[in-house]
């Protein structure tokens, strides 16, 4: 998330009431999670295991819960609870704005686009030309939809990221200030749920077709011309490259990459990154050749046990 204008380190520290290490006028341009940070961004870290990763990242301001040596060219914000203060910044720069009408007056809707009854179109939504938005679709604030997009009934774009920190009193949600971006010529089936990014975009690229009842987590990027069948669940921060085919009821964990033109068969469970141009199935998912060898070996177990039993006699 880039701020609407540059801020200084002292201004940011005042917003969240923290002390800091760095020049008062050190420039701060935005805030992001570790996997999408760039120069000028704030990143937060609250566990020693990840200190080095945050301090050596592209972020130039680190919101951290311990006073450590500050890398050259960077600044620190010292907080007793970086998670809480990252949420404070999200609330400051992306506060929730309630709506008073079904289609916001700030929404921009293109030529020849049809929006069926009972839809909700939030603040600052942009919808391109020649789209069809069927009834009971909800498109939350700041979502961007390209041209020639079809969205079927009951689909929700822009719900909160499923991202929580466990505390003694319960689970504390990391607030979402990102967007959903749907590019041109995308079809979304009925009852799909596509969560907004935490600080960046959840993106579905041009030409991708998605069946009914598919869940796509925060900050995930789905490439061009992919096919995703019904009841697939894709966790946050996943990268699906171009022309990938994912069949029904596949589950994909977070922070993995599915390579270009991969095919994942129904009911597979993906727990690691998969190379492109291969076909996969099973739990955990693996390529066809490896999986069939594994199944063949398992089928030989009774025969091997029988032979061992005879030898024992």
pLDDT in tens, 24-53: 999 999 999 998 999 999 999 999 999 999
Is residue 310 scored above 80 in pLDDT?
A: no
Catalytic one of 35, 134, 171, 218: 218
Domain 2-93 matches domain 108-288 at the CATH topology level:
no
pLDDT value of position 276: 97
Distance CA 257, CA 243 (A): 13
pLDDT in tens, 120-176: 999 999 999 999 999 999 999 999 999 999 999 999 999 999 999 999 999 999 999
Structure tokens at 246: 């994912």
Q: Is the pTM of this model over 0.85?
A: yes
**What integer is the mean pLDDT of 265-274?**
96
pLDDT value of position 302: 82
Q: Judge whether 171 counts as a catalytic residue.
A: no
Q: How far is CA 104 from CA 13, 181, 263, in A?
A: 34, 18, 40
Binning the chain into helix, strand and coil, the percentages to the nearest 5 are: 20, 30, 50
Distance CA 239, CA 221 (A): 5
Q: Which residue has the higher pLDDT, 275 or 296?
A: 275
Distance CA 185, CA 232 (A): 20
Structure tokens at 154: 């009951």
Q: How confident is the model at residue 309 (pLDDT cuts 50, 70, 90)?
A: confident
The domain ranges of the chain are 2-93, 108-288
Q: How confident is the model at residue 313 (pLDDT cuts 50, 70, 90)?
A: low
pLDDT value of position 214: 98
Span 2-93 CATH architecture: 3-Layer(aba) Sandwich (3.40)
Span 108-288 CATH architecture: 3 Solenoid (2.160)
**What integer is the mean pLDDT of 240-261?**
98
Nearest to 284 by CA among 295, 298, 270, 274: 270
Structure tokens at 151: 């969205």
pLDDT value of position 281: 93
Q: Which residue has the higher pLDDT, 309 or 146?
A: 146
């Amino acid at each position: 998330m880039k701020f609407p204008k540059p801020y200084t380190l002292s201004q940011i520290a005042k917003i969240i009431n923290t002390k800091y290490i760095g020049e008062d006028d050190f420039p701060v341009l935005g805030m992001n999670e570790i996997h999408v940070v760039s120069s000028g961004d704030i990143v937060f870290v609250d566990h020693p295991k990840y200190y080095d990763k945050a301090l050596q990242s592209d972020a130039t301001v680190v919101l951290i819960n311990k006073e450590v040596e500050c890398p050259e060219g960077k600044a620190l914000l010292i907080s007793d609870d970086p998670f809480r203060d990252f949420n404070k910044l999200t609330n400051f720069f992306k506060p929730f704005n309630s709506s008073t009408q079904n289609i916001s007056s700030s929404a921009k809707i293109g030529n020849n686009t049809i929006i069926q009854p009972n839809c909700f179109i939030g603040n600052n939504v942009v919808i391109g030309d020649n789209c069809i938005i069927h009834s009971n679709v909800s498109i939350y604030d700041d979502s961007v939809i390209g041209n020639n997009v079809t969205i079927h009934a009951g689909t929700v774009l822009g719900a909160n990221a499923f991202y929580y920190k466990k505390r003694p009193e319960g689970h504390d949600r990391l607030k979402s200030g990102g967007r959903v971006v749907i590019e041109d010529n995308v079809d979304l089936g009925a009852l799909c749920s596509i969560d907004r990014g935490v600080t960046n975009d959840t993106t579905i690229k041009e030409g991708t077709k998605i069946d009914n009842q598919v869940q796509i987590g925060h900050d995930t990027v789905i490439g061009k011309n992919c096919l995703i069948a019904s009841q697939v669940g894709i966790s946050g921060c996943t990268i699906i490259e171009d022309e990938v085919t994912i069949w029904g009821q596949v589950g994909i964990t977070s922070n993995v990459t599915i390579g270009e033109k991969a095919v994942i068969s129904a009911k597979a469970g993906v727990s690691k990154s998969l190379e492109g141009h291969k076909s996969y199935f099973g739990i955990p998912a693996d390529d066809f050749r490896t999986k069939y060898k594994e199944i063949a070996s398992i089928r030989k177990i009774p025969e091997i046990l029988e032979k061992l039993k005879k030898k024992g006699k």
